[in-house]
A and B are shown apart, each in its own frame.
Chain A
Amino acid sequence: MQRIAVIDYGMGNLHSVSKAIEHVAPDDEVIVTDDEALIRSADRIVCPGQGAAADCMAAISQHGLTSMLVDIVDTRPFLGICMGYQVLFDHSEENGGVDCLGIVGGQVKRFAAPLHTPEGERLKVPHMGWSQVNQAVEHPVWHGITDASRFYFAHSYFCQPSQVEHVSGYCDYGHKIAVSIARGSIFACQFHPEKSADHGLQLLQNFVGWDGVQ
């Protein structure tokens, strides 16, 4: 049995994330916590999050988790989801500009309207719904998931990693955007695996069985 910590810094719906992980790891201990000692005691870490970047960064700081997160992400398997993906970067332009954790080089930007598909169809913002994710690398977390499978998205800001070799998944939404990254023991994604039906559950199952080596 392993211990999986879902970090609770007060931003967003942790119920679905923790239930989805319990669903794929029924024999493991899933804890939802902001306690640094408990998080450090976990074998793997999931960092979800919803809401505005400034609020998320403030909440991470208020819960005393900033330096711990920077410390810990490279030491065991770490999964960032949605805002838990965006906050890993250097900076977000949301809320007039917010410094993020700077764990992964890059910027978070707002979709610039108007967006269109190559066929000329108008695309809405937020990007809400199921889009195809093209796998940029082979990775244990993609195991058993067909390339270009659809995952569920709900976001108005997108990440631009500064190093292309960190990108593990792309999606086309007006332009090519990096929707997941993989670096060492970190895997993080813009989409919601906990809301992406079978492919999402497969991804979570892969994560809970992953040794953290790319």
Chain B
Amino acid sequence: MGVAKRVIPCLDVDAGRVVKGVKFLEIRDAGDPVNVARGYNEAGADEITFLDITASSDNRDTILHVVEQVASEVFIPLTVGGGIRQVSDVRRLLNAGADKVGINTAAVTRPELVREASDKVGSQCIVVALDAKQVSAPGEPQRWEIFTHGGRKPTGIDAVQWAIKMADFGAGEILLTSMDRDGTKIGFDLALTRAISDAVQIPVIASGGVGNLDHLADGVLKGGADAVLAASIFHFGEYSIREAKQHMADRSIEVRL
């Protein structure tokens, strides 16, 4: 007995609309974040993550309205990432109703942001999103590096060391995405997940590569993840959240059913 391993659907939001639509929930408007969040809540999601991919700065504030609307009607934890540059961005999202804010590139550019933000709002509100890629050659001891810009730009930073540093700086949680696995549907990078999870005391959310329900269970059992995040397998109705949790429960994982 402790805490249930969480199953988290992740939604991309562009200028206030859910993109890469959700195809299974019987909702009137699959682009409406409130409808989609409500559907996932009813389906038993433990938490919802919105990734704001709005490119135009004119539309930057649309995410605040989205968060306000969702938090007014859906009463489960809500994490929002994308475009966070300063503490005031964090504050505005939390005041709009987000529970946690994901910081990615800005943490690499200026790690002190993580410390400032967690000092100000508490570690439990700060998720550091970490995009990692394997850089060791086959046969060498495995090593991963932090990449930015959607996996295109190497930083030279060792992923495990970075996770430890971010935890020291006050991150309350790590959202770990394997850029090698993202979109592949062949499963999480379990060695990476295990390396990060063992290195830090804070919870780790595994992301990138989920193609079936065993992948989710493996993320927890073999990777040591505290939560698993997926997008397409849920959005396109291949599996429901409830099936995912039942499958994890069948493999002796503590979940909220």
> A95 → chain B, closest Cβ, in Å?
10
* CA of A13 to CA of B99, assembled, Å: 8
Q: Is A124 part of the contact surface with B, judged by Cβ < 8 Å?
A: yes
Q: Smallest CB–CB gap between A131 and chain B, Å?
A: 5
| Interface size grouping (class) on chain B | 35 or more
A19-B72 contact, Cβ under 8 Å, with A124-B201, A128-B203, A152-B77: yes
Partner of A174 from the list B2, B46, B97, B204 (CB cut-off 8 Å) is: B2
- A50 contacts B125, C-beta separation under 8 Å: yes
Question: Is A117 in contact with chain B by the CB < 8 A criterion?
Answer: yes
The CA of A123 and the CA of B226, in the complex, are separated in Å by 9
- The verdict on A156 contacting chain B, using a C-beta distance below 8 Å, is yes
Q: Is A125 an interface position by the 8 A CB rule? A: yes
CA distance A114 to B202 in the complex (A): 11
In the complex, chain A residues whose CB is within 8 Å of the CB of B72: 15, 19
Cα–Cα, bound, A197→B202 (Å):
24
Residue from the set B72, B75, B173 with the largest chain A CB neighbour count within 10 Å: B75
Which residues of chain A are within 8 angstroms of B121 by Cβ–Cβ distance? 12, 50-51
Does B55 reach chain A (CB closer than 8 Å)?
no
Question: B65-84, CB under 8 A of A: which get 1 and which 0?
Answer: 00010011101110000000
Give Cα A173 to B1, complex, Å: 7
Q: How far is the CB of B8 from chain A (nearest CB, A)?
A: 10
Q: Tally A residues with Cβ within 8 Å of B.
A: 42
Q: Does B161 contact A (CB under 8 A)?
A: no
Q: Which residues of A contact B4 (CB under 8 A)?
A: 129-131, 150
Within 8 A of A (CB), among B86-100: 94-99
Question: Chain B residue with minimal CB distance to A56?
Answer: B122
Contact A172 B2 (CB under 8 A): yes
How far, in angstroms, from A156 to B118 measured CA to CA in the complex?
A: 13
Q: Is the CB of A20 within 8 A of B75?
A: yes
Measured CB to CB, the closest approach of chain B to A26, in angstroms, equals 12
Q: Which residue of A lies closest to B227 (CB)?
A: A129
Contacts of A121 in B (CB 8 A): 2
Distance of B207 from chain A, by nearest CB (Å): 16
| Interface residue ranges of B193-237 to A (CB < 8 Å) | 201-204, 224, 226-227
B6: A residues at CB distance < 8 A: 129-130
- Can you list 23 A-B pairs, Cβ within 8 angstroms, ordered by A? A15-B97, A16-B97, A19-B72, A114-B201, A123-B2, A123-B3, A124-B201, A124-B226, A126-B124, A126-B172, A126-B173, A129-B3, A129-B46, A130-B256, A131-B4, A152-B77, A154-B77, A154-B99, A154-B124, A172-B1, A195-B75, A195-B77, A200-B75
Chain A residues close to B by CB (< 8 Å): 12-13, 15-16, 19-20, 23, 50-52, 113-114, 117-118, 121-132, 150, 152-156, 172-174, 192, 194-197, 200-201
Interface residues of B (CB under 8 A from A): 1-6, 41, 46, 68, 71-73, 75-77, 94-99, 119-125, 172-173, 201-204, 224, 226-227, 256
